[in-house]
Structure 1
Amino acid sequence: MFGAFRQSLVAQGGLLWKNPFRMSGTRKANVRKRLKAVDEVIATVAESGVRCKALDKALALPKESEMQARDKYTVFSRYARGHRKSLHKVPKFTKKTDRTSPPGF
């Protein structure tokens, strides 16, 4: 119990990283804010007259206001039950630019 061989906090408390099951309203609001910021940047670059393949691909993405809630807060995952995974479980989900799911999901 005490001394050199005492248990660590991980052994006593279980999981070290505790992810909530659902996304909170604050996290959802932050996701919407980031999506709107990306839409604004894409629009600004498009207005400047620059043309490239990446910009054409970004212009084809739906805007935040056009997206369904399912696509805003979840992503397609081949291994998850139901093939949808909540965004807060995905590492670096803000850096992913694909806002669409495969057909049927």
Structure 2
Amino acid sequence: MPDKKTIGKKEAEKLERIAFILKTVAHPLRLGIVHLLEQHPQLSVSEICTMLGSEQSLTSHHLQNMRLKGILHAERDGRSMLYTLKERDVSSIISCLENCNCNM
């Protein structure tokens, strides 16, 4: 019988990081935000709301959560906040999931 390998520390850390990113973006509105920020380098809350057809209070809540967890970066521009995608690995993970042969 072949020798079973255990997951090394580096692999375990990588899996933890992927799981953290997936948990953070596991909501349709958050996925929509990531999708928009992949296409546009910087967007304000009102631009995101307009593009997604979402309410500002709900969108702001999700943006704040993603910013606190390190997925997004926020920069003040006058009276508004501009958001950028800080964690680029999230795009790769989502792209991989979108292109899998999952039957839904």
TM-score by length of 2: 0.26
TM-score by length of 1: 0.25
Identify, as 1 or 2, the structure richer in strand: 2
Identify, as 1 or 2, the structure richer in helix: 2
Structure possessing the higher radius of gyration over alpha carbons:
1
